[in-house]
């Protein structure tokens, strides 16, 4: 007699597969709900920093000074610790870090103030643009996610990370350290 002819074995397997299917469906539903809740939280947290990055846009470029960049650097920090840092994806966090490192290196290497050179401005604006792109990817506001888009995005982010590192090295690799009193949240 085959094991498949035994009604108890077939019934037990049916119950086991049914239970496993129900567990997987429940886990997927919980994950989808968490994803929706995270997206809702991001939709509240991201607009303020998106607006702040407009000060460093490529089109049209702004005429800014060292003091403007210092204020921007601190505003990004304030946003990160009070509003949005908790909701950033790993990629968005990496691009945020690139922006802060580039701004800090620029501020340290150009102490004394004055207007920001157009080439330096473009490098900083490109780094901010990569951060904005990462934010739109978190929200999937520009494109539907797909396997091919994910691969393309991964390559794009690697390239932007290398570009930010080159700008960081150009400005100097020592991080800017400000007194804690100047970094109020």
Question: What is the rounded distance in angstroms from the CA atom of residue 185 to the CA atom of residue 156?
Answer: 32
Residue showing tokens 């709900």: 33
Report how far apart, in Å, the C-alpha atoms of 123 and of each of 8, 67, 147, 185 are: 70, 17, 30, 27
Question: Is-contact 50 135, C-beta < 8 A?
Answer: yes
pLDDT at 165 over 90: no
Predicted confidence (pLDDT) per residue in 64-110, tens digit: 999 999 999 999 999 999 999 999 999 999 999 999 999 999 999 88
pLDDT (0 to 100) of residue 149 = 72
pTM, entire model:
0.70
Residues in the chain: 185
* Element of type H or E holding 35: helix 7-53
Q: Which of 145, 163, 135 is nearest to 50 (CA)?
A: 135
Sign of CA dihedral 54, 118, 77, 80: positive
Residue showing tokens 């470029």: 61
Phi and psi, residue 65, nearest 5°: -115, 175
């Amino acid at each position: 007699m085959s094991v498949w002819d035994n009604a108890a074995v077939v019934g037990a397997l049916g119950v086991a597969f049914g239970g496993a299917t129900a567990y997987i469906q429940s886990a997927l539903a919980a994950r989808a709900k968490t994803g929706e809740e995270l997206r809702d939280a991001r939709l509240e947290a991201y607009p303020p920093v998106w607006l702040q990055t407009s000060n460093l846009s490529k089109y049209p470029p702004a005429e800014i000074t060292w003091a403007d960049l210092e204020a921007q650097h601190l505003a990004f920090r304030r946003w990160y610790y009070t509003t949005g840092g908790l909701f950033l994806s790993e990629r968005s966090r990496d691009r945020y870090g690139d922006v802060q490192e580039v701004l800090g290196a620029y501020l340290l290497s150009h102490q004394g103030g004055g207007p920001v050179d157009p080439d330096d401005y473009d490098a900083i604006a490109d780094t901010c643009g990569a951060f904005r792109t990462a934010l739109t990817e978190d929200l999937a506001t520009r494109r539907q996610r797909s396997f091919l888009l994910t691969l393309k995005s991964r390559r794009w982010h690697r390239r932007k990370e290398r570009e930010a590192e080159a700008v960081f090295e150009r400005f100097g690799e020592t991080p800017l350290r400000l007194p804690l009193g100047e970094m109020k949240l």
